[in-house]
C-alpha cells in the first residue's frame, strides 16, 4: 500500500483559508479582486505581512469594500520635512566616512580618497491598499468613506515583549495605495492622501 505524498497548499488555497472570509458580507467579486491584488503584491512586488481586511479597525463595522494591508520592501512615500532631515543625517555620515578614508590614505602615503556617495534609505512602513477596477467610477465622497473607516497606519504584527511599535512622527495624514486593475490584469498603483499634502522636493 503506497502513501500519498504530502502536498503544500497553493498560494491561492492559502488566501482562501483567510479567517477574515468567514464573517464578511462583501460580494464575491470584490473579495476576488482583493485576492488578486494581494497575490500581485506578494509575488510580483515582494511585499510581506499582507492581510485582508473586511471590517473597520475603528468601528468594527464592514468596510465599504475589502482592503489589503502590508509592508512594501522599500518606503513608498517620504514626507518632505523627513526627507530634509534624512539628507542632513546622510551628509554627516558621508563627511565622516570621507574624513576617515582620507586620514587612512594620508597615513599610508596614498592619494586622498574621493568623497563617499550620499545615501539614505528610510525604513518601509505598513500601507493600506484599496483594490479597484479601471472601469469603476470613483468620487471624493467614496474615497472619503474609505478613509473614515481606517486608521492612520494599518496594524502590523504584535511587537515583542518590552518592544514598542515604531511610530513615524512625520506620518500625520492617512494615505492608501490605490491598486487599479485593467481588463488585461495589468495593475497600476497610485498613492492617495486624505487631504492636501505638501509636495515632495526632488
- Read off the pLDDT of residues 110-138 as tens digits, 9 standing for 90 and up: 665 555 666 778 889 999 999 999 999 99
Is residue 69 domain-shared with residue 84, that is, in the same domain?
no
Is residue 72 domain-shared with residue 132, that is, in the same domain?
yes
Tell me, yes or no, whether 163 lies in a domain.
no
Is residue 182 domain-shared with residue 91, that is, in the same domain?
no
Interatomic CA distance for residues 37 and 42, integer angstroms: 9
Number of domains present in the structure of the chain: 2
DSSP count for the chain of H helices, then E strands: 4, 5
Query: CATH number for the domain including 150?
Result: 3.40.1350.10
Is residue 103 domain-shared with residue 186, that is, in the same domain?
no
Is residue 34 domain-shared with residue 134, that is, in the same domain?
yes
Is residue 109 domain-shared with residue 98, that is, in the same domain?
yes
Tens digit of each residue's pLDDT (9 = 90 or more) over 12-24: 566 556 555 555 6
Tell me, yes or no, whether 50 lies in a domain.
yes
Do strands 187-193 and 48-55 pair parallel, antiparallel, or not at all (unpaired)? Answer: unpaired
Is residue 45 domain-shared with residue 109, that is, in the same domain?
no
Question: What pLDDT, on a 0 to 100 scale, did the predictor assign at position 182?
Answer: 94
Domain that holds residue 56: 11-77+123-158+169-193
Is residue 107 domain-shared with residue 50, that is, in the same domain?
no
Q: What is the pTM of this model?
A: 0.75
Do strands 62-71 and 48-55 pair parallel, antiparallel, or not at all (unpaired)? Answer: antiparallel
Do residues 56 and 150 lie in contact, with contact meaning Cβ atoms separated by under 8 Å? yes
pLDDT category, 172, cuts 50, 70, 90?
Answer: confident
Amino acid at each position: 500500500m503506497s502513501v500519498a505524498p504530502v502536498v503544500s497548499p497553493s498560494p491561492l488555497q492559502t488566501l482562501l483559508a483567510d479567517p477574515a472570509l468567514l464573517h464578511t458580507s462583501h460580494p464575491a467579486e470584490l473579495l476576488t479582486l482583493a485576492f488578486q491584488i494581494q497575490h500581485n503584491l506578494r509575488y510580483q512586488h515582494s511585499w510581506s505581512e499582507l492581510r485582508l481586511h473586511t471590517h473597520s479597525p475603528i468601528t468594527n463595522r464592514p468596510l465599504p469594500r475589502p482592503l489589503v494591508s502590508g509592508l512594501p520592501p522599500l518606503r513608498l512615500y517620504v514626507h518632505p520635512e523627513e526627507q530634509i532631515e534624512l539628507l542632513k543625517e546622510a551628509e554627516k555620515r558621508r563627511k565622516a566616512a570621507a574624513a576617515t578614508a582620507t586620514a587612512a590614505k594620508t597615513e599610508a602615503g596614498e592619494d586622498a580618497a574621493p568623497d563617499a556617495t550620499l545615501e539614505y534609505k528610510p525604513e518601509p512602513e505598513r500601507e493600506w491598499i484599496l483594490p479597484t477596477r479601471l472601469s469603476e467610477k470613483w468620487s471624493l465622497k467614496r474615497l472619503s468613506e474609505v478613509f473614515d473607516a481606517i486608521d492612520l497606519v494599518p496594524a502590523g504584527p504584535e511587537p515583542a515583549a518590552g518592544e514598542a511599535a515604531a511610530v513615524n512622527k512625520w506620518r500625520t495624514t492617512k494615505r492608501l495605495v490605490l491598486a487599479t486593475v485593467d481588463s488585461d490584469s495589468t495593475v497600476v498603483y497610485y498613492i492617495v492622501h486624505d487631504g492636501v499634502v505638501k509636495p515632495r522636493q526632488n
